[in-house]
Structure 1
Amino acid sequence: MGFATYADVLRIPIVRRILILGLVVRVPLWASEMAITLHVVTHLHGSYADAGLVAAVGGLALGISGPWRGRRLDQLGVRRAIAPSIIVLAATWSIAPWVGYWPLLVLNGLAGLFTVPAFSIIRTVLISAVREDQRATTLSIDSIATEITFMVGPVLGVLAATTLPTPLALFICAMTQLTGSMLIWWVNPPLRSEGSAPAERTNRLRLTWPILAVFAMSIAAIIILTGEDMSVVAAMRGWGRPEAIGWVLGLWGAGSAVGGLVYGGLRRRPSAATLLLLLGLSTALIAVADQQWSYIVLLTVSGAFCAPAMTAMTHALSQLVPSANRGEAMGWHGSAMMLGSAVGSPLIGVALDRGGWTAGVLLAGGVGTVIAVVGVIATARAAVPEDAEPELVSA
């Protein structure tokens, strides 16, 4: 393993800056999701279904706007692309915490359409800032950082919403996220390697079969993660241990972080399709657990493939698209993951209702396994695009 590569990557100033910016933006993002749920349920006296509808509208808006906002990044660069979003979001979240349910629903949808594509920006900058042979390591660091923010953000969101009035908590979370977006505008990180510049007439991304296969694998991966997430709740409740849900999910996340760390240090890395196949099979294998301890062990082992699989898909996508279309590609990638979440939640929910947690992991693992096999076939002859950066192709 080449863990020295981590030190080499972290010596690059723009990599350090964008990773820190990623923490600043993502922590309040996850915190806001918890704050808005508690705001709807407590302050607005709505149901969890009402809160779910708010989240669904926001997620649908994000999925719709992802490719469009990514394309604007490719055409205009960071500052010109996100300046209108910052203005709209500042106005939207200055009003949304203080209004009733239906206006909040509409404003949350509007915010979703104009959300600053922080994930696309961060990954595009990281990909362009390093050599091709350093991409997987760099993306692994970002994946680990995302795992950390996913564990910290919801806790802070709950803390804010339970110690402060929920309108104020939601306002603080949203404005903190907006502050992170403003820092991205101020830093204005380069989206392409040195010597390249944004082009006003960038051609649209051509969605080839290998690219579509990566999107399909991303959808499958999110369905698997949704299945594992929901199965933890069902399994622990079934064993009469609902208080264990938090630390079991923490072990799962820790397994994912360790897996991402190992993957980034490998000199020879499995393909995205292979990792998805391992993730799918290991998820289905959880169904053989007959006790709580064996369930937790198998879940943690499966978690070790989560971050590597997601990192490998982003890496594969970066190799399949021209540098001029990376923003749009990352936008489509984000929309694919949103679709996976939207499809996965009800699908896994039905499986859990009918067959318990074992049915949930079997369905999630089965979907991942089938799509992984298709991904192996579709990406087997994938080629580097002709207009990829020469220095990266030869690396």
Structure 2
Amino acid sequence: MQQFRRMLGLPGVRALMVLMFFARIPLAATSMVLTLLVAVGLGGSYGAAGLVGGVGTIGVAVGAPLMGHVVDRIGLRPMILLATACEGAFWLTARFMSYPVLLGTAFFFGLLALPTMSIARQAIAAMVPEELRRTAFSMDSISVELSYMVGPALAVLLATQLSPQAATTGLGCAVVVVGLLIAVFNPRVRADHEKADTARLPRREWLTPKFIGVLVVGGGAVFILAGVDVTMVAALRANGQLDWTGLLVVVICTASAAGGLVHGAVRRSLPQVVLMGLLGVLTIPAALFVGEWWLLALALVPSSALCAPTVATTGEEVARLAPVSMRGAATGLQSSAFTLGASIGAPSIGFVVDHTSPAWGFAVAGMGGVAIAAVAWLLGAGRSVKEPVAV
């Protein structure tokens, strides 16, 4: 674990990791809070809740690069204060909104949401030297897994013990606190030797096929994850084992975190596109184990162990390929790729499950991942990591 000790010993990095873990808990709770507010608080359908979430997702996909552009032009703190004020105002007033108003404002909420994912990646690229970035991005991916284990659970606890409206107020307060803490901490988004690099490059000079291939892999990884989530719930429900969902989520998140630890500890890892291909290939066998929850959990462990490494390598590659002066926009595009992967994966694999069976959901998600890896290879992502040596 020497790599992790070296990385966490860098000035400000340990505090950044702790802050970003707590900062992403509100983000992890967002989807659950919206669903509970519409379906329970307003008495709407789950489809209506999904529509609000989908509109907000479109806003996030559009807004992430724009927020990154603001960071590139005027700095991190002004963007944080703007996003905190806008997102906090949305959540603190959401309890008073009717469904049409909620649906109409969801896009702007997503557009101006606090981009905690992008902030973390920009700060890591600035604060961590290149030889330790794999370790730092792996730790960041593990932190995301932990945040997503905590956030939805807290949302359900508030909504069930108090009310969905109370959950929105709590989320609004959390967003404001988190935003102010990040603004006070004000992590660096450029290293000392990068501050003089202010040249504004045309997008065509850095948004190359290789860079697009990196984004394709990032979106593809989340496509598989979203598809697996939907299929997993469908499989458990079909077998009357829905009560085991929480434990199954803990198992696969733990496997992902373990994979991230290994990925961050080694000095050389597999190329990004190979990790993506293996993630897809190892998802397919889960189709054979949909009968019992514990068999399904075991079947999903190998693919889950590759989730954090695949996502971490995406961050590493974006930091390496993006010019310093455009890093904010580049990490914003990375966040958009993740968002689009989730917004495509969940409904498309859900459609497959609705018209076939949960087994086919796992199979199609895995095969889709393999196809995405092939596209990324053609775009040049297969040669994006230097010295590709197996772990």
Whether TM-score is above 0.5 comes out as yes
Is 1:282 equivalent to 2:272 in the alignment? no
What is the CA distance between 1:200 and its match in structure 2?
Answer: 7.1
Structure 1 segments (4+ residues) deviating >6 Å: 198-201
1:275 maps to a residue whose letter is L
Partner deviation per Cα, 1:322-375 (whole Å, 9 max, x = no partner): 122211111001111111111111210111112211111111111111221232
Q: RMSD in angstroms over aligned alpha carbons? A: 1.9
Stretch moving more, 59-68 or 159-168: 159-168
Alignment of 1:203-352 (within 5 A): 203-205=201-203, 206-289=206-289, 291-292=291-292, 293-352=294-353
What is the CA distance between 1:199 and its match in structure 2?
Answer: 7.2
Alignment of 1:44-55 (within 5 A): 44-55=42-53
Match of 2:119 among 121, 126, 131: 121
CA distance 1:230–1:89, change in 2 (3 Å) = closer
Instruction: Judge conservation of contact 1:32–1:174 (CA < 8 Å) in 2.
Output: no
Is 1:133 equivalent to 2:131 in the alignment? yes
Is 1:59 equivalent to 2:44 in the alignment? no
Instruction: Judge conservation of contact 1:97–1:167 (CA < 8 Å) in 2.
Output: yes
User: Distance in 1 between the 2:220 and 2:69 partners?
Assistant: 24
Instruction: Judge conservation of contact 2:85–2:176 (CA < 8 Å) in 1.
Output: no
Alignment of 1:70-89 (within 5 A): 70-89=68-87
Instruction: Judge conservation of contact 1:89–1:111 (CA < 8 Å) in 2.
Output: yes
User: Distance in 2 between the 1:107 and 1:97 partners?
Assistant: 13
What is the CA distance between 1:380 and its match in structure 2?
Answer: 4.3
Q: Structure 2 regions of 5+ residues with no counterpart?
A: 387-391
1:235 maps to a residue whose letter is A
1:20 maps to a residue whose letter is V
User: Distance in 2 between the 1:170 and 1:370 partners?
Assistant: 39
1:333 maps to a residue whose letter is Q
CA distance 1:171–1:193, change in 2 (3 Å) = same
Match of 2:2 among 1, 4, 17: 4
Alignment of 1:93-104 (within 5 A): 93-104=91-102
Partner deviation per Cα, 1:77-100 (whole Å, 9 max, x = no partner): 111223322333343333222121
User: Distance in 2 between the 1:102 and 1:13 partners?
Assistant: 48
TM-score by length of 2: 0.93
Instruction: Judge conservation of contact 1:276–1:309 (CA < 8 Å) in 2.
Output: yes
What is the CA distance between 1:237 and its match in structure 2?
Answer: 2.1
User: Distance in 2 between the 1:201 and 1:116 partners?
Assistant: 26
1:194 maps to a residue whose letter is D
CA distance 1:237–1:168, change in 2 (3 Å) = closer
Match of 2:163 among 162, 165, 170: 165
2:63 maps to a residue whose letter is S
Report the counterpart of residue 353 of structure 1 in structure 2.
354
What is the CA distance between 1:381 and its match in structure 2?
Answer: 4.9
User: Distance in 2 between the 1:322 and 1:349 partners?
Assistant: 38
Q: Structure 1 regions of 5+ residues with no counterpart?
A: 385-395
TM-score by length of 1: 0.92
SS at match of 2:193: coil
Match of 1:182 among 166, 180, 183: 180
Instruction: Judge conservation of contact 2:56–2:107 (CA < 8 Å) in 1.
Output: yes
CA distance 1:156–1:251, change in 2 (3 Å) = same
User: Distance in 2 between the 1:188 and 1:162 partners?
Assistant: 35
Report the counterpart of residue 379 of structure 1 in structure 2.
381
Instruction: Judge conservation of contact 2:214–2:317 (CA < 8 Å) in 1.
Output: yes
1:249 maps to a residue whose letter is V
What is the CA distance between 1:157 and its match in structure 2?
Answer: 0.5
Stretch moving more, 167-176 or 270-279: 167-176
Instruction: Judge conservation of contact 1:224–1:368 (CA < 8 Å) in 2.
Output: yes
User: Distance in 2 between the 1:213 and 1:234 partners?
Assistant: 31
Equivalent residue pairs, number: 382
Instruction: Judge conservation of contact 1:26–1:177 (CA < 8 Å) in 2.
Output: no
1:280 maps to a residue whose letter is G
User: Distance in 2 between the 1:12 and 1:160 partners?
Assistant: 37
1:317 maps to a residue whose letter is V
Instruction: Judge conservation of contact 1:74–1:202 (CA < 8 Å) in 2.
Output: no
CA distance 1:231–1:93, change in 2 (3 Å) = closer
Q: Percent of aligned pairs with the same residue? A: 33
SS at match of 1:267: coil
